[in-house]
A = this chain, B = another copy of it.
Amino acid sequence: MTKQERAVTTRRDLIRSAAVAFDRYGYAQATLSDISKQAGVSTGALHFHFANKAALAEAVEEDATEALRSVVREAYRSRESALQALTDASHGVLRLLRGNIVFRAGFQLNADFTWESGLDLRREWHTCVRRFVDEAAQEGALVDDVVPGDVTVTIMAVMTGYGLLGREEREWFSQRMLTGFWELLLPRIAAADTVDALVPGGGPVPPA
């Protein structure tokens, strides 16, 4: 490994360790010495990469935001309808909550009393959801008496809820739980001629 490759690896390890610490203790209680120890580097090496804990939290949020964008892009790219893309994107977000500690920590930092930053993962996700719902309305894929804003708000609340509840009981991150929600919602909101084609469990998982 060249010196530069090593630096990249160390930086990545530190972000991951920070995510583990934030996920476990919250921002205020996570300590730099825990983070450097977990990453297997000295606190000097940590400070070479990150000025302080806030800089680490920002890096976690940046990586989490990138992961979110990638899930949304993929759902959008392979979409057959806006409602299916929205369903797929929500499953993608849950998959990240389940398996990507940096994303999970970023999502939770967003709700952490003790941390505030300019980045806002939740606001970005909100914008994506609203865009998918508006597109579904434009496609004529929503039932007439459904208010698009109600759909957006419900999806935001549900996903926020899963994110929080899953912290204590991992079951809330399971695909089964979210599929149950879509099995309730899709037949209610999707126009009659589109509903049969929709897959509440989400489309095929893209290769990692």
Contact = CB atoms under 8 A, between A and B. Distances in A.
Interface stretch (A46-54, A76-84, A144-152): A144-152
Interface secondary structure of A, over-half rule: helix
Given A160-B160, A162-B157, A164-B164, A151 B184 contact: yes
Contact of A181 (B28, B122, B153): B153
Interface stretch (A66-74, A96-104, A110-118): A110-118
Contacts of A112: 26, 113
A189 interface: yes
Interface of A: 25-26, 28-29, 111-114, 122, 146-147, 149-151, 153-154, 156-162, 164-165, 167, 172, 177, 180-181, 183-185, 187-189
